[in-house]
Amino acid sequence: MISVIIPVYNERETILEIIRRVRAEATPKEIVVVDDGSTDGTRDLLAGLSGDDVRVLLQPRNRGKGAAIRAGLAMARGDIVVVQDADLELNPDDYAALLAPLQAGTAEVVYGARFLLPQNREGYRLVSWLGNTLVTGWTNLLFGARLTDEATGYKVMRTALLRSLNLACDGFDFCAEVTAKLLLRGITIHEVPVRFNPRTYVEGKKIGWRDGIITLWVLLKFRCTGA
């Protein structure tokens, strides 16, 4: 069984649809939804959803994506964790491709690489693509990696491995912390292409340039400290 952790903050328009799509995907799973202090009515939609396949945790205040994922990770019962953003940019129908290298024993960690499919760049803002390219290039330079998409939301690995990283970052820098700690251990990150439907800031996209600066700093900090 896999555990799908869905961190959510103010996603009233998409949360029920992403849960529906995750439920419809064929892999045996549990769904752990962590609401990170939403104020737009998302929490009302989540009320009463808990059941055999869905558990809902309501954080008392907004702390950030990393904090929400850590809270979900503490509840996870599956032996593999998939992090699923609630914004519909990534497609749960790609789970089979993401899980296959782990299940075959050919990879310890799998990232869903958005830009291995050229069509995924359509509709993606140039400044966002340049920012992602900068972060990924910086990662490869610091750690000697060969990634194409460090910032992808799809980071898939054994639950025990993710827990062993002793994660501490609360915000979007969670992604950089996970990547840095894996690469410092000498773990090769395997990438598979995934579908991508980018949304705009008008539609609710939350990550911004400040988060990119923080990510660059976090990667450098872990490279220098080795922690």
pLDDT of residue 121: 64
| Domain 2-225 of CATH type 3.90.550.10 | yes
Residue type, 99: L
Provide the residue-wise pLDDT of the chain in tens; the chain has 227 residues.
999 999 999 999 999 999 999 999 999 999 999 999 999 999 999 987 877 799 999 999 999 999 999 999 999 999 999 999 999 999 999 999 999 999 999 999 999 999 888 776 666 666 666 888 899 999 999 999 999 999 999 999 999 999 999 999 999 899 999 999 999 999 999 999 999 987 555 555 556 668 788 999 999 999 999 76
* Beta carbons within 10 angstroms of residue 82's beta carbon: 27
According to the model, what pLDDT value does residue 212 have?
81
pLDDT at position 201, please?
Answer: 54
CB 42 within 8 A of CB 68: no
- Which of the 8 DSSP states describes residue 196? B
pLDDT at 172: 87
β-sheet bridge partners, residue 81:
3, 157
Q: What is the pTM of this model?
A: 0.91
| Alpha carbon distance 128, 209 (integer Å) | 9
